[in-house]
C-alpha cells in the first residue's frame, strides 16, 4: 500500500511539472526590428529587469562595427557619430567617452556576451518599446540609406508616373517624391525578333510624347535615368532573338545608339526557361549571358551602366545564370513577386534574396517590389528585408501606383542614395 502511495505521488509531481512547462515558454522574450522578428543565435533573456541579447547579433542588426577585447572582456561598438564601451560584469559603460551607469551589466553565458538591448540600441539611434503583456521588445531603427529605383511607365489619367513623381500634372513639376527616388527605369522600349529597337510594342510599352521633359526634369532633381527595354518570351520571341547572331548584334548597336540620351540601360527580358530542361536550358542561359555580356561591354565602353530586371531564382523561369550575369552587370533587380498570395509572402521573398545572394554580391542586388501587391505595412516589411540583407536597395514597380500611405511608409524607412 505504501509503494502504491509513492507511485501516485510521483505521478502527481510529474503531471504538475508538465503543466508548469507551458508557463515557462511564456518567459521567452521576443525581439522585433522594424516590424520583423529577430532571431539571435542565443535567446534574449531578462537580467535585473533588463532585456539582454548577444552583442554581435545586435551589432549586425544595427549595422554597427564591433570589436571584442578578450583580455579585458570589453565590447567596443562604433558607428558614425557614436561609440560605446561595455565590460562584462561592469555596470559602468562609456558612450562617446561619457560614463553611463547600467542597471544590468554585460554578462558572459554559454560562450556568448550579452549586452543590455535598450542601452546598446538607443546609443545608435534606435527607438525601443517594451510590451510586457506580450514579452516583446520592438525596435525602430533610423532610416536606412539605399538606392531606390522606380519604373516610369506611360500610365494613364489615373496612374500618371509624372504626377506621382513630380507632384503636379504634366508639364508642371515640383519636388514631389523625387527625394525618395534615386534612379528611374523608363519603360519605353522593346525589341523584336530581328533585334530592332521599338518605341512601341505589342505589350503596350511605348515612349510618350514629351519624353525629353521627363529626362530633363528628373536630372534637374538629381535622378539618374535608364532606358528600359521590355520583352516577353510568350511566343518564343526572345529565344528567336538569342538564336540569331545578327539580330543580337543589331540589338546591341541600336540600344547603344539610343542610350546616348540616358545614364544607362535596364534590360527586362522576361519568361526565359519556363519549359526548357537539361542541355537546352544550359544553352539558353549561355546565349542570354553572351548577349548581356556583349551589350554590357559596349555600354561600359561608352560610360553607361547596365541593370537587369530578372525573375527570382525561386520562380518558374530558370533561364538566367545569376552568377555570370552578376559579374558583368552593375545591378540585378530581382522581381520577387507574382507568387500568388497578396501581399507577397515574406518567406518567398526572403528565399528569393537568399538564393540570389548565394550567387551575386549584395552590393549588386536590388529587391524588386510590385506595388499593386502590397500595402504600406507590407511594403515597409519588404524594405526591412532589403536592409537586413544589406543589399544595394529596392526597385518599385511602378510609379503612378504608389499611394500616399506607401510614400509615407517609404519616407520613414529610407534615405535614397
Q: Which domain CATH number covers 365?
A: 3.20.20.80
Burial of 208 (0-12, 13-18, 19+ CB in 10 A): middle
Confidence of residue 5 (pLDDT cuts 50, 70, 90): very low
The C-alpha cell at 158 is 489615373
Rounded average pLDDT over 31-59 = 93
Q: Are residues 156 and 59 in the same domain?
A: no
Q: Are residues 212 and 358 in the same domain?
A: yes
Q: What is the pLDDT of residue 156?
A: 77
The residue from 121, 140, 159 where one domain ends is 140
Q: Are residues 111 and 204 in the same domain?
A: no
CB atoms within 10 A of CB 39: 9
Q: What is the pLDDT of residue 207?
A: 93
Q: Are residues 312 and 382 in the same domain?
A: yes
Cα–Cα distance between 75 and 95 in angstroms, integer? 12
Name the E strands within 132-256. 136-140, 144-152, 183-191, 197-198, 224-232
Q: Are residues 194 and 343 in the same domain?
A: yes
| Phi, psi values for residue 359, rounded to 5° | -125, -20
Confidence of residue 95 (pLDDT cuts 50, 70, 90): very high
The pLDDT tens digits for 98-129 are 999 999 999 998 889 999 999 999 999 999 99
Coil, strand, or helix at residue 374? coil
Classify residue 250: in a domain, yes or no. Answer: yes
Q: What is the DSSP string of 38-49?
A: ---SS--EEETT
Q: What is the pLDDT of residue 332?
A: 98
Coil, strand, or helix at residue 333? strand
Confidence of residue 27 (pLDDT cuts 50, 70, 90): low
Count of structural domains within the chain: 2
Q: With a cut of 60, say whether residue 361 has pLDDT above it.
A: yes
CATH number for the domain harbouring residue 44: 3.30.457.10
The pLDDT tens digits for 291-344 are 999 999 999 999 999 999 999 999 999 999 999 999 999 999 999 999 999 999
The residue from 123, 140, 157 where one domain ends is 140
Classify residue 98: in a domain, yes or no. Answer: yes
Q: Are residues 333 and 384 in the same domain?
A: yes
The pLDDT tens digits for 174-216 are 999 999 999 999 999 999 999 999 998 877 788 999 999 999 9
pTM, to two decimals: 0.90
Q: With a cut of 70, say whether residue 24 has pLDDT above it.
A: no
Coil, strand, or helix at residue 345? coil
Q: What is the mean pLDDT of the chain?
A: 92
Is the separation of the CB atoms in 361 and 328 below 8 Å?
A: no
Q: What is the pLDDT of residue 273?
A: 97
Is the separation of the CB atoms in 130 and 51 below 8 Å?
A: yes
Range of the domain at 384: 144-416
Q: Are residues 157 and 128 in the same domain?
A: no
Amino acid at each position: 500500500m505504501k509503494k502504491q502511495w509513492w507511485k501516485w505521488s510521483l505521478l502527481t509531481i510529474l503531471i504538475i511539472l508538465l503543466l508548469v512547462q507551458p508557463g515557462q515558454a511564456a518567459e521567452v522574450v521576443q525581439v522585433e526590428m522594424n516590424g520583423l522578428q529577430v532571431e539571435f543565435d542565443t535567446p534574449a533573456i531578462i537580467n535585473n529587469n533588463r532585456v539582454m541579447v548577444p552583442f554581435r547579433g545586435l551589432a549586425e542588426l544595427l549595422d554597427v562595427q564591433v570589436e571584442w577585447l578578450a583580455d579585458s572582456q570589453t565590447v567596443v561598438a562604433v558607428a558614425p557619430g557614436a561609440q560605446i564601451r561595455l565590460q562584462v560584469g561592469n555596470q559602468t559603460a562609456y558612450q562617446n567617452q561619457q560614463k553611463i551607469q547600467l542597471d544590468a551589466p554585460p554578462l558572459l553565458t554559454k560562450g556568448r556576451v550579452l549586452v543590455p538591448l535598450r542601452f546598446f540600441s538607443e546609443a545608435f539611434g534606435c527607438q525601443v518599446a517594451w510590451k510586457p503583456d506580450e514579452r516583446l521588445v520592438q525596435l525602430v531603427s533610423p532610416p536606412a540609406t539605399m538606392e531606390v529605383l522606380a519604373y516610369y511607365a506611360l500610365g494613364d489619367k489615373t496612374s500618371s508616373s509624372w504626377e506621382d513623381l513630380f507632384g503636379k500634372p504634366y508639364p508642371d513639376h515640383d519636388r514631389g517624391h523625387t527625394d525618395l527616388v534615386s534612379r528611374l527605369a523608363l519603360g519605353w522600349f522593346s525589341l523584336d525578333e530581328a533585334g530592332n529597337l521599338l518605341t512601341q510594342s505589342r505589350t503596350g510599352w511605348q515612349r510618350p510624347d514629351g519624353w525629353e521633359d521627363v529626362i530633363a526634369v528628373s536630372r534637374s532633381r538629381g535622378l539618374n535615368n535608364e532606358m528600359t527595354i521590355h520583352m516577353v518570351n510568350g511566343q518564343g520571341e526572345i529565344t528567336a532573338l538569342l538564336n540569331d547572331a545578327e539580330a543580337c548584334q543589331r540589338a546591341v548597336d541600336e540600344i547603344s545608339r539610343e542610350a546616348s540620351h540616358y545614364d544607362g540601360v535596364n534590360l527586362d527580358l522576361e519568361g526565359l526557361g519556363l519549359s526548357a530542361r537539361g542541355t537546352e536550358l544550359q544553352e539558353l542561359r549561355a546565349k542570354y549571358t553572351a548577349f548581356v555580356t556583349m551589350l554590357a561591354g559596349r555600354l561600359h565602353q561608352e560610360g553607361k551602366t547596365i541593370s537587369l530586371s530578372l525573375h527570382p531564382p525561386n520562380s518558374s523561369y530558370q533561364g538566367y545564370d545569376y552568377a555570370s550575369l552578376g559579374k558583368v552587370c552593375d545591378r540585378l533587380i530581382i522581381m520577387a513577386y507574382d507568387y500568388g498570395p497578396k501581399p507577397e509572402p515574406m518567406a518567398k521573398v526572403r528565399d528569393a534574396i537568399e538564393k540570389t545572394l548565394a550567387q551575386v554580391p549584395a552590393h549588386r542586388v536590388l529587391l524588386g517590389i510590385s506595388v499593386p501587391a502590397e500595402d504600406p505595412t507590407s511594403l515597409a516589411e519588404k524594405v526591412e528585408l532589403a536592409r537586413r540583407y544589406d543589399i544595394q536597395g529596392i526597385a518599385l514597380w511602378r510609379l503612378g501606383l504608389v499611394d500616399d500611405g506607401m510614400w509615407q511608409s517609404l519616407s520613414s524607412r529610407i534615405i535614397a542614395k
